[in-house]
Each structure stands twice: as structure tokens, then as C-alpha cells.
Chains A and B, each alone.
Chain A
Amino acid sequence: MSNFKAIFDTYNWDTTLKSIFDKTTADVKNALEKEKLNLEDFKALISPAGKPFLEEMAQKSQRITKNKFGNTIQMYAPMYLSNECQNICTYCGFSITNKIPRRTLTDAEILKEVTFLKKKGYDHILLVTGEANKTVGIDYINNAIELIRSKFSNITIEVQPLDQKEYELLIESGLYAVLVYQETYHREAYKKHHPKGKKSNFDYRLDTPDRLGKAEIHKIGLGALFGLEDWRADSFFTALHLQYLQKKYWKTKYSISFPRLRPHSGGLEPKVTMTDADLVQLICAFRLLDENLELSISTRESERFRNHIVHLGITSISAESKTNPGGYSVAPQSLEQFEISDERSTEEVVEMLKNNNLEVVWKDWEQFEKV
């Protein structure tokens, strides 16, 4: 298969969803007994039949995670560079139709934000922008990476999908990882939620991890935005995508994030509610599917939920996040992309982790090459 689309096109959403709902107690028990799980086992674990086995899944997930990653949690901080965006995304505060003040950080403003985050101890940074090629295109992103590369061991971006050559340029400049969420693998729903802008091209987005793999990026972050469509089917397709990529681009590391739709200025109500129990079930299922996978949880989730989930499979979290450009020190009052839920300071989250007998890891990678 030349790319994931060729595999994806052989699947049907409704048939897939039905096969998940058809899983039985016996399928779940069988999956829980196995050491190496396949995608059918994963379906069983995320199915309604898996729900009564949540505690068993959590126990196993905790055990596997602790053995693989030890008593550690990695810290990262998002830094929003711009809220300019040419896309319409029905669920996003940055959507072009939202009449909000737009801002793109200057070099001086970026460095001011960096100073704030470095003081907090962060060494892993996630740069975020909307999609506006004229103002925050490849040149802007490349400049931002070069500007801060000496200050962070690990620079990750979450920006518009780029071409392979553009990724290669950014990797050369010091980029470590790219997060690119499909939002939903439901083709029609995707079109409904992205009616305008470059993002409306479902296939281009679907092909993005392939382009990243070909560019030999160190890490790719995958995920779906839960709330747009059925979370079980979206999660299955995420796992399918993951396993395809792992076999093809074997030098690349992978992570999964679990964003649930949060309130924002656009005001879209989730079509599907994903409960806390559902999310725990999913996180544990991914851990049981793949013991090496990095699993990340953001400040979208509540303080209470995060206090508990750090023991059930998660390996990295953010804290004190601001989702507006300049939100830490430049323009704290400007509009956020979405409201965060856990509003604790970095220090408070670190304290929570230490009280949970977890070592906080600030640095876990370094680019050892002359550039």
C-alpha cells in the first residue's frame, strides 16, 4: 500500500461501527488474556461489552505503563503563536467566521512568552497556529523554530498540514515532532465541520502522517476530536492509522492525544458525548494495544480527572496552558481557542504529580547532531 488512504478506503464507517458494537463479553475476556493484541481485540476493549471490565483494564494498563515508562510523567507546554485562520471549523474559536481580534506574535513577543515558560521549567514546547498561509506560513513557522531552538530540547508543532519538503526544512531547523489530528475519520461529517478553507480537503489531511513519515520526523502525534462523531469508530480508525504508520515508518515514535470538544466562542454542542468512563476505557485500550505508545492528556480535562488519569496509562501532560497567542505574558486577556478546564499553575500540577509518587520529567530528548 502506497499510503494510508488506500487502506482506509477499504473500510466502511457503518460496518466498522457495527462490528465494534457486536463485540461480546467473550471477546473482551479473550482480549484481556492476550499479551499481544490485534485491532479486533482493540475493538472489543472499546466496545460497550468492554465497559464492565473497566477496572480490570485500568489495573492492567497501570501495570504495563509503570513497567514501560516507570514512575514518570513528561511535562510540556503549548504556546499559541497566532489565532489567524482561513478555515471554517465549526467547533473552533479561531474559525474565520468568528469576529474576534486576531493576533500573530512578533519575534520579541515569542521570546517574551518563552522567557515565561522557561522560568516555569518547561523544556518541551508545542507551537500552535491556525491556518493562514500568508501570515503564518512555512516561513513564519521556520523562523519561530530557529528563534527558540537553543532554548528547548524538544520543539513540537501543531499547525496546518504541510508538504514533505516543508517538513524536511523544519526538521533541519530543529523540529522534533508534529501533532496532526484527523478530527474525525467520518468523511461526510468531516466535510460538514470543515466547509471552507484548505482544511476542507479530507484526503490531504489523512495523508499528512505519511508525508511526515517520509520526511523522517522523530515523532508523530495522532488523534481524533471526540464529540464530532462516534468516538469508538474514530478511535478504531486512529488505531488502524497508527498500526499502518508503525510498520511503514518504523523509525518514528508515535503518540496519541484524546481531545474532547470544549466550550469556545463558536458554541458547537458535541453530537456525541464522551463520558469520563468512556475516556478511561479508551486510554486503557490504547495502552493494552501498545505498551510503547506515548499517551497525552491536556488541560482540557478537569483537575479531578487528571489527578486520577496520571496513574492509568498517561505518559505526558501539559499544565497552566493558555490557548491564545501571547496568553502567558503578552496578551493574557485575549480570546482563547477553547476554554481549559484544569486551571492549576504548573507548580500545583508538579506538586500533585510528586504527591502521586511520580517523577516529573522536563527533558527527555536532545538533538545530538551538528547543524
Chain B
Amino acid sequence: MNEKLEIADKKFTSRLFTGTGKFSSSKLMKESLLASESELITVALKRVDIKNEEDDILSHLNDPRINLLPNTSGVRTAKEAIFAAELSREALETNWVKLEIHPDPRYLLPDPIETLKAAEELVKLGFVVMPYIHADPVLCKRLEQVGVQCVMPLGAPIGSNKGLKTQEFLEIIIEQSNVPVIVDAGIGAPSHAAFAMELGADAVLVNTAIAVSKNPVQMAKAFKIAVKAGRMAYEAKLAPISQKAEASSPLTSFLN
């Protein structure tokens, strides 16, 4: 049960990935992230001074239990994303990058065309590319073809906490994917995370729901448990759903 998740050359015990935005302090951010037991934590390059080791956020993330996943949030084009990734590889010494290209600053919806272009180029440059995308099954296959290490479709718009509004498409993506599927954005409650895992998602990424709750540390723990429970349920294979009542003891067993 609870087999490890493998992305590129790393194995993860936890299938809960987390973010660093919206906390009321960096101290609380760190306490919450450690409580979540998340092993991959995304940080927005636009928010940190990557060349400054004393940067308030980065200094709080300097912990052996934390793998940093720089994200390119804020860029509008493939060109900008590639440059940001190169900067972060140099400064943070990681070739992992969460590729986010959203020219729409209101809903932060990802640009599929620029994302595909950037992903292809970044893979060639040796990056482990984790693209944030709409729940588009065809785009996922195209990204897989250019060599990304996973896909990160959204459940609902970033920060909305609305849950898996894209469920139908996530199910197709999960069914078809040859790379891990990480549901990103929209997960607003531990029950949403558990549901994503029950559907067969390989991991989930949660930020707002933890950071904005009344008690982020406790909420982080709640997500940790929910993700584990959801994965266990998926591995145990859920009982089928039926519209009709079925007797637990078959009515014709006397024939045997």
C-alpha cells in the first residue's frame, strides 16, 4: 500500500505537493509545510530574490526535508519562461521547474500554445518539466510526446477552492497518461484532495486551502491524511457504483 511516486530521478513518499504563497508569515509557512510532510514545495520565482540566500522565503525553505520546485508564475511567453527557468537552475541549483505561463492575469489560466513551446525547449535543455495546464487531454498527450516528466492539470481556477470542476477531463487524462498526473489548482478541502487521489491522480498540489485557513498547520496535517487515505482507497480499488440495490449475499447461492 501507498507505493512511492516516481518523477524523473526522485521518489516521493508523500503525494501531497504544496506551495508557499499567501501565508501570513514565512515562519507560519515553514511550520505548515513541515506539518504537511510534503517533499516537493513550489516557490514563485517572481516572489523571491533567488540570488540572495537571506531572502525571507528562501531562507525558511532551507531544510533537508524540502525539495524546491521553482515556478515561472508571472511570465506571459515561452521565451520569458525559459529565461526564468535558466536563472533558477543557476541560482537554486535545481533543474526542476514548474512551468506556468499565464498571460491572463485575472484568472491565471495557462496558455496551452506557449506552454507546449516552452516545454519542448526546456526538455531539450535538460529540465525536469512539470507543466501547469488546463485539464486538456490532448494537450497532455502532446506534452508527454515532447518529454515532460508529469502533467499538472487544474481542477478549477487557481485559488478558487472550488474542487474538481474538471473531473470528466481529469478522468480521461488519468486514464490515458503515461506520466504522473498531478492535480493542481482548485483543491480547496481535504475531501477534494482525497477525491482526486481516489480518481487515480498520482499527486495533488495544494496552497491556498492551507495558507488561507484559520489554522494552516492543522489544515496541512488534514491534507496529509486525506491524500494518504485517497491513495489507499485507489490502490484498494473502490467498490463499483450501482443505481440498484444489490444483496450482499447473492440470492442464487443456494444453487451451489
Q: Report the bound CA distance from A219 to B84 in whole Å.
A: 20
Scan B99-116; emit 1 where CB is below 8 A from any A CB, else 0.
000011111000000000
Task: Note all chain B residues with C-beta closer than 8 A to A369.
Answer: 77, 79-80, 83
B165 → chain A, closest Cβ, in Å?
Answer: 14
Which one of A20-28, A62-70, A100-108 is at the interface?
A62-70
**Which interface class (under 10, 10 to 19, 20 to 34, 35 or more) fits A?**
20 to 34
A219, closest chain B residue (CB): B105
Scan A233-255; emit 1 where CB is below 8 A from any B CB, else 0.
00000000000001000111100
Flag whether B87 is at the interface (Cβ < 8 A).
Answer: yes
A154 → chain B, closest Cβ, in Å?
Answer: 10
Task: Note all chain A residues with C-beta closer than 8 A to B76.
Answer: 251
- The residue from A292, A359, A365 contacting B25, defined by CB atoms under 8 A apart: A359
Task: Note all chain A residues with C-beta closer than 8 A to B23.
Answer: 70-71, 359
A63, closest chain B residue (CB): B212
Task: Note all chain B residues with C-beta closer than 8 A to A361.
Answer: 47
- The residue from A70, A219, A359 contacting B208, defined by CB atoms under 8 A apart: A70
Q: Which of B6-39 contact A (CB under 8 A)?
A: 21-26
Q: Which of B46-91 contact A (CB under 8 A)?
A: 46-49, 72, 74-77, 79-81, 83-84, 87
B48, closest chain A residue (CB): A363
A250, closest chain B residue (CB): B104
Flag whether A160 is at the interface (Cβ < 8 A).
Answer: no
Task: Note all chain A residues with C-beta closer than 8 A to B147.
Answer: none
Q: Report the bound CA distance from A366 to B22 in whole Å.
A: 18
Inter-chain CB contacts under 8 Å: number: 75
A251, closest chain B residue (CB): B103
Contact B105 A71 (CB under 8 A): no
Q: Which of A219, A250, A363 has the most CB of B within 10 A?
A: A363
Task: Note all chain B residues with C-beta closer than 8 A to A370.
Answer: 83
Q: Which secondary structure characterizes the binding site on chain A?
A: loop
- The residue from B21, B81, B105 contacting A368, defined by CB atoms under 8 A apart: B81
If the complex has contacts A251-B104, A252-B105, are A68 and B45 also in contact, measured as CB distance less than 8 A?
A: no
Task: Note all chain B residues with C-beta closer than 8 A to A366.
Answer: 45-46, 74, 84
Contact B45 A368 (CB under 8 A): yes
Q: Report the bound CA distance from A292 to B107 in whole Å.
A: 8
B55, closest chain A residue (CB): A363
Q: Which of A71, A365, A366 has the most CB of B within 10 A?
A: A366
Q: Which of B80, B87, B105 has the most CB of A within 10 A?
A: B105
Flag whether B211 is at the interface (Cβ < 8 A).
Answer: yes
Task: Note all chain A residues with C-beta closer than 8 A to B46.
Answer: 153, 363-366, 368
Flag whether B137 is at the interface (Cβ < 8 A).
Answer: no
B207 → chain A, closest Cβ, in Å?
Answer: 9
Contact B45 A251 (CB under 8 A): no
Contact B75 A368 (CB under 8 A): yes
Flag whether A72 is at the interface (Cβ < 8 A).
Answer: yes
B106, closest chain A residue (CB): A292
Q: Report the bound CA distance from A252 to B83 in whole Å.
A: 21
Task: Note all chain A residues with C-beta closer than 8 A to B48.
Answer: 363
Flag whether B161 is at the interface (Cβ < 8 A).
Answer: yes
Chain B contact residues, CB within 8 Å of chain A: 21-26, 45-49, 72, 74-77, 79-81, 83-84, 87, 103-107, 159, 161, 208, 211-212
| Nearest 8 pairs of A and B residues by beta carbon | A70-B22, A71-B24, A368-B84, A253-B105, A292-B106, A368-B80, A251-B103, A357-B24
Given contacts A67-B212, A246-B106, 9 further A-B contacts (CB under 8 A): A66-B212, A70-B22, A71-B22, A251-B103, A290-B106, A359-B26, A368-B46, A368-B74, A368-B84
* 10 A-B interface contacts by CB (under 8 A): A67-B212, A68-B159, A71-B23, A72-B22, A250-B104, A250-B106, A253-B106, A363-B49, A364-B46, A364-B47
